[in-house]
Amino acid sequence: MHGYTADEVRAAEAPLLAAGVPLMARAASGLADAVSAELSRLGVPVHEARILLLVGSGDNGGDTLHAGALLARRGADVDYAPLGSRTHREGEAAALAAGATRIDDSPAGPEFRAALAAADAILDGIVGIGATAGLREPARTAVVAARERVAEREGPLPATFAVDLPSGIHPDTGEAAEADAVLPADVTVTFGACKAGLLRADLAVVGRIELVDIGLGLPA
C-alpha cells in the first residue's frame, strides 16, 4: 500500500470538491459499511449495537457524524460527544434526524461515562489530516477515558475505529505528540488514499487499515 502526504491528498481532493463531488458522503458511507462489517464479524449485528462517536470540529467530525446517521438508520443506538470548538452543522443535523443522541456533559461527566461503558464500538473522529499536534481539551480527556475503557475490556469489545487516522498522530510522520493521549485503533478506516503516517506509526496504534475509495484517483 502506497502512503501519501496530507498535501498530496488535499491536492487530489481540491478539483473534486470544486466540482461538487460528494466526498464526505462517500467517506461516511464507506466508514459506516466498515463499522457494520467489523461488528458483524465480532458477533454484534449493527441493529443491536451501541456506538459512541468522538466528534471534532472539522470535516473529520463531519465524516463521523454522517456515518453515525447511516448507522442509526440501520438500527444502531448512536451517541455522539462533540469535543471541538464547534460541530459540523450538516453532519449533526443528519445524525439527530436519524435518532442519534448528543452528549452534552463533559468527558468526565456521568452521561459520557455511561455511553462509554455501554459502547460496542468507539469511533475516533476528532481530528484528521489537518492536525499535526496533540489533542486539546476536552478531546484529550475523552481519549484518555476511552483508552482506559479499552484497556479494561475482556474480549474484542468495545471495538475502536480511527476515522481516516488516529487522532493525535502526524499524518505524514506517524509520530504522536503525546502517545498516552492517542486512542489505539483496532481498525483505521482511511479515505481516498493511505496516509503516509499510517505506514510509519506503531501498528498497535493504527490497527488494520481499510482503504475506502472516494474517487481521488490515487493508486493504492
The verdict on residue 217 lying in a domain is no
pLDDT score at 117: 97
Asked whether residue 132 carries a pLDDT value surpassing 80, the answer given is: no
Asked whether residue 131 carries a pLDDT value surpassing 90, the answer given is: no
User: Containing domain of residue 180, as a range?
Assistant: 3-212
pLDDT tens digit sequence for 85-100: 999 999 999 999 999 9
DSSP SS3 for 220: coil
**% of the chain exceeding 70 in pLDDT:** 100
pLDDT score at 133: 79
DSSP SS3 for 118: helix
Residue 206: half-sphere exposure toward Cβ, Cα within 13 Å: 24
Asked whether residue 21 carries a pLDDT value surpassing 90, the answer given is: yes
The verdict on residue 117 lying in a domain is yes
C-alpha distances out from residue 206 to 24, 42, 88, 186, Å: 22, 19, 25, 7
If we measure between CA atoms, which residue out of 210, 111, 97 comes closest to residue 159? 210
CATH number of domain containing 26:
3.40.50.10260
Asked whether residue 1 carries a pLDDT value surpassing 90, the answer given is: no
Helix (H) / strand (E) containing 218? none
Note the maximum CA span of the chain.
Answer: 47
Q: How many domains does the chain have?
A: 1
Scored b (16 or more CB within 10 A) or e, 184-217 reads bbbbbbbbbbbbbbbeebeeebbbebbbbebebe
pTM attached to this predicted model: 0.97
Q: What is d(CA 75, CA 47) in angstroms, rounded to the nearest whole number?
A: 4
User: Given pLDDT bands bounded at 50, 70 and 90, which one contains residue 130?
Assistant: confident
The verdict on residue 220 lying in a domain is no
pLDDT score at 207: 98
The verdict on residue 219 lying in a domain is no
